Structure formats: structure tokens, C-alpha cells
Amino acid sequence: MPARTPEEIDTLFLAAMNAGDLDALVALYEPQATLTPSPGRTVTGRDAIRDSLAAFLAVRPNMTLSQRLVSQTGDLALLTSKWEITMTGADGKRAVQGGQSVEVARRQADGTWLFVIDLPFGMEASA
């Protein structure tokens, strides 16, 4: 299901993440989008994004998300969300990770919205 509004793209991401649906997650990105899966590491393109997200889904994360800001001008939107993920580590212990994301989405020719830039760790992404 494609995002029909900028607000909907994060909702779809959350649903796909919690369902473990890799194809649905990757479908939310433009072909040459960038994702910073961990601070200091950026990947470009759907294949690299797929690899990063597949590794993350392997720990069966459970995500909560609350949207903070959606600012739109024309075909571009800036989104921020506060998120938290609970997962089970390799040692069998529960781990929790969270952050404040910053994302840029663009309206496509068919009216749907896709991520162009995804910084899950927001301003900390370059740390």
C-alpha cells in the first residue's frame, strides 16, 4: 500500500516494520534514496537499503512511533518522529533502542509519497 500523504509514510513504515515485511519497507523508498542505518554509516539505493533493513528485521523488532512534525512545500515534505524499538539480542536479553528521526519524502508522479532521505537517528546520524 503506497503512502497517499506525507503523514502516512511513517504509519506504513511502522506497520511494515512490526509485521517484518521487508518488501513493504523497501517499497517506501525512492530507487536512489539514502538511509543512515547507524550513526556514521549511510547507504544509497534500494538494494543497499534492503540489505540494511533485512539485517535489522532479523532481530524481530517491535517498534512504537509518534510523529512530531510534518512540514510540506509542494512535492517535498520534512518529517520527524520519535521512535522506540524493543528487540531480543543475540544473548537472549531484551534490548531497547530509540531516537528522533528526520526524513525527507517526495511526492511521486502518481501522487504517492516515498522517502528520499531517511535519518532514523536524526541529527545524531553523523556522530
Give residue-wise pLDDT tens across range 45-96.
999 999 999 988 988 899 999 988 899 999 999 999 999 999 887 788 888 9
> What are the structural domains of the chain?
6-122 (3.10.450.50)
Give residue-wise pLDDT tens across range 29-55.
999 999 998 888 999 999 999 999 998
- The model carries a pTM of 0.91
CA–CA separation, 124 vs 19, rounded Å? 27
CA–CA separation, 11 vs 79, rounded Å? 12
- Per DSSP (E only), the strands in the chain are 29-38, 41-44, 62-73, 76-88, 94-107, 113-119
Which residue is it, cell 533485512? 54
Cβ neighbors of 28 (< 8 A, separation 6 or more) are 3, 9, 12, 13, 16, 114, 115
